[in-house]
Amino acid sequence: MQITMLTTPGSQAGLYPDFVGKRSLFAGVGAGPASYTEGAGDPVSLNINPFYIDTMFGGILDTTGTYIVLFYTKTTGTRQTWYARYNVAATGAEYTGGTALKSLVWQVGGIGGQF
């Protein structure tokens, strides 16, 4: 999931990331992948560099209310790769295929840094 940071309406000036001490809060919009393999996860990237993710906020419905996105790492520590997992909102089960997720969007956020 490529996350594009939210900007001020009508300008290119960014609202995010918003720096708080040595860390920053961020919010942006990301779309689902063209294809998704159950259990593999969808790597998360941000449209700004250098920037790493400390944590992601998950459990967020897409704009249609059909799917939930959850975020996780495969290990713990700083500067980990984050992955998105897509679940069907009605059942809670992980998405297994069928409908392409690339047309669905989520507004997500988290905490990160540039140091």
What pLDDT is stored for residue 81 in this prediction?
A: 92
pTM value is 0.86
The CATH number of the domain where 38 resides is what? 2.60.40
Question: What is the chain's pLDDT, residue by residue, as a tens digit (115 residues)?
Answer: 988 888 766 656 677 888 888 888 999 999 999 988 888 899 999 988 888 899 999 899 999 999 999 999 998 887 889 999 999 999 999 998 766 899 999 999 999 988 6
Domain count, the chain: 1
E strands along 1-115, which residues? 2-5, 18-20, 23-31, 42-43, 45-46, 52-57, 60-61, 67-73, 82-88, 105-113
Give the whole-angstrom CA distance, residue 52 versus residue 54: 7
Enumerate the β-bridge partners of residue 29.
4, 107
Domain span at residue 91 reads 2-113
Residue 32: exposure state from Cβ atoms within 10 A (0-12, 13-18, ≥19): buried
Rounded distance between C-alpha atoms, residue 82 and residue 58, angstroms: 12
pLDDT recorded at residue 11: 59
